[in-house]
Amino acid sequence: MGVQRARRIRRALLAWFRGHARDLPWRGTRDPYRVWLSEVLLQQTRVETARPYYERFLKVFPTVRELAAAPLDRVLKLWEGLGYYSRARRMHAAARMLVRDCDGRFPSTVDGLRRLPGVGPYTAGAVASIAFGRPVAALDGNIKRVLARVLAIGSPIDDAGAVRRLWRAAEELVPSRGAGRFNQAMMDLGATVCVPKRPRCLECPIRHSCASYASGIQGRIPVRRRDKPRPHHEIVAAVVRRNGRLLLGRRRPEGLLGGLWELPGGKLEQGETREAALVRELREELGIRVKVGPLLARVEHTYSHFSITMYVYACELARGRPRPLYHTHLRWVSLGRLDDYATPAATRRVLRVLQSNGAEREVTAQVEGRQLAATRSSAS
């Protein structure tokens, strides 16, 4: 990049940041717990969405010790709706590691922070620079985009060679003092000016150091690989009742939606009817036989790499006693206590309808009356 060019970029960017820094609740603190919490929440999440979660987490868990002492169920419930639940599980595991191995103190170096569950190169760099003043780079999606345009990188931004080049540029740019402020300035520039579509180049303080702007190609950079078609799956789920309570199962801790509570069911196999799939799934997951009743709801939901249509049926227990053959725990839950359990977004929509109606008969009537439309939501 060159020493003179790096100096020009640093000087112009920091001058701009003095008048354009975003007013965010985690700004102005060097408390490593708060910085780390904000960075975990912001992974794959917009600032507007993360803000209320940050405030709620601090209210319930004001210190890393209190987060570590909490049961995972409580952490997942507070996280509910943010999606990518592995972040919450790893954050909880990291808090416990900090208390167990470090007396609740955060490491101040990138290498030390990288040992914590869920802490990658970007998060480690952000915490080390912002909380501890370490002169280290941080490279999130916003900064990648800024640097890809500054350098006019024409290869896909996630190629290994492009990533190495972006990290080298970020490390060359970061100042020996005030690295945290500089990294936050780069984040804000990408979030507010050097945006993905139609970048506002005339407002950009570093446009005269930007190779893409000089060539007029800023709208075509960064280059990304073409997305593969997103698979779609049909899912069936059961509302099984006993004495006015619904049966929920807790998913295994690893994998997608790990640790959350769900209605039992699963994916259709090729050639199966939905009713046959539900009978098979409940036999495999719970060791029971059921009589499949009416359709209660249909929910459409999109995850990051696939989408689903979930069909929810009322089911009558015909034989056997439910056992956790797939789930880690099973629980019969009254309608009034469903909000105590962290559930996937698609399941939560169905449970809310059940709560509002109170009886399967009324839910079925809504379906037949076309009042309960298929619901759609984004990745969660």
Q: Which residues are catalytic?
A: 39
Q: Are 147 and 192 in contact (CB under 8 A)?
A: no
Closest CA to 124 of 107, 145, 143: 107
Closest CA to 380 of 251, 256, 265, 268: 256
Query: Cα angle vertex 336, ends 333, 341, to 5°?
Result: 55
Three-class SS state of 297: strand
261-262 and 245-250 beta bridge pairing: antiparallel
Residue 185 CA: distances (Å) to CA of 9, 96, 152, 178, 345? 11, 32, 20, 11, 34
For residues 184 and 130, give the distance between their C-alpha atoms in angstroms, rounded to a whole number: 8
Query: Cα angle vertex 292, ends 286, 295, to 5°?
Result: 115
Q: Which two tokens stand for residue 267?
A: 């994916």
What number of other Cβ atoms are within 10 A of residue 11's Cβ? 13
Q: Are 139 and 122 in contact (CB under 8 A)?
A: yes
